[in-house]
Amino acid sequence: MTRIVFLDRDTIGPSVDIVRPDFEHEWIEYGKTAPEEVAERISNADLVITNKAPIRTEQLASASKLRMISVAATGFDVIDVAACTNAGVVVSNVRGYAANTVPEHAFALILALRRSIVGYRQDVINGEWEKSGQFCFFNHPIADLAGSRLGVIGEGVIGQNVARIARGFNMEVVFAAHKGVSGLGPLYTPWDEVIKTSDVITLHSPLMPATRNMIATP
């Protein structure tokens, strides 16, 4: 019988119904799994589902039956894909995961940043607006989205959907070419230009050796 182990079910949330496979199987799930618990919990698994619980070379060594790892998200930086390939373990993810949720949340943060929502909210709580001698209250900078430039790093589904929302606010949208590349045709803008000229930069790239610290360095 196929043994399926879900390492961190709590990361998905109780409101999400998980459809289980229609073949005979044993389903084992844990609310969360610490890194030091992974090896023991996957040791007899045929298929593992994980969101954030990491699976590296050392954990794979104990999982001789393992055939597949399914990441319950888009990014699979918690998985050592090369080690899985060497071990004959297939790795999959959820294509299109949070394709609307993440862009909408990113844009909520953009609005909060440009309009200083957090600062003004705190001023209202503290009674600062009531103390103002006039209705207009300029304790924090406010900038329009219309006419400003949004630099998008990462041109996948999420990056494209952030761009779509931004255009609805009449923002100029530019997609950054890969760092170190001068340009990749008319759809891309050189990396350095995007960094220097954008009013807002939104980052939607997968975490991998090539992208780690590409903006901030240690």
For residue 217, pLDDT over 80 is answered with: no
Residues 122 and 170 in one domain: yes
Residues 31 and 68 in one domain: yes
Residues 35 and 81 in one domain: yes
One-letter amino acid at 194 equals V
In a domain, 22, yes or no: yes
How many whole angstroms separate alpha carbon 50 and alpha carbon 164? 31
In a domain, 26, yes or no: yes
Find the mean pLDDT for residues 128-135.
Answer: 82
Residues 159 and 125 in one domain: yes
Write out pLDDT tens, residues 34-51.
999 999 999 999 999 999
- At 186, the pLDDT band (50, 70, 90 cuts) reads low
Mean pLDDT lowest for which of 8-17, 94-103, 176-185, 204-213? 176-185
Residues 27 and 109 in one domain: no
- CATH number of the structural domain spanning residue 105: 3.40.50.720
Domain boundary among 35, 57, 92: 92
Per the model's pLDDT, the better-predicted residue between 135 and 166 turns out to be 166
- pLDDT, residue 71, reads 95
- Please say whether the beta carbons of 87 and 79 come within 8 A: no
Q: Model's pTM, two decimal places?
A: 0.78
- pLDDT, residue 151, reads 97
Find the mean pLDDT for residues 83-101.
Answer: 92
Number of compact structural domains in the chain: 2
Give the domain extent around 22.
Answer: 2-92
Domain boundary among 92, 109, 134: 92
Alpha carbon dihedral 60, 53, 203, 156, in 10-degree steps, equals 60
Residues 112 and 170 in one domain: yes
Residues 88 and 116 in one domain: no
How many whole angstroms separate alpha carbon 53 and alpha carbon 42? 11
- Please say whether the beta carbons of 199 and 184 come within 8 A: no
Q: Strands 25-29, 2-6: parallel, antiparallel or unpaired by DSSP?
A: parallel
Residues 70 and 48 in one domain: yes
Write out pLDDT tens, residues 23-36.
999 999 999 999 99
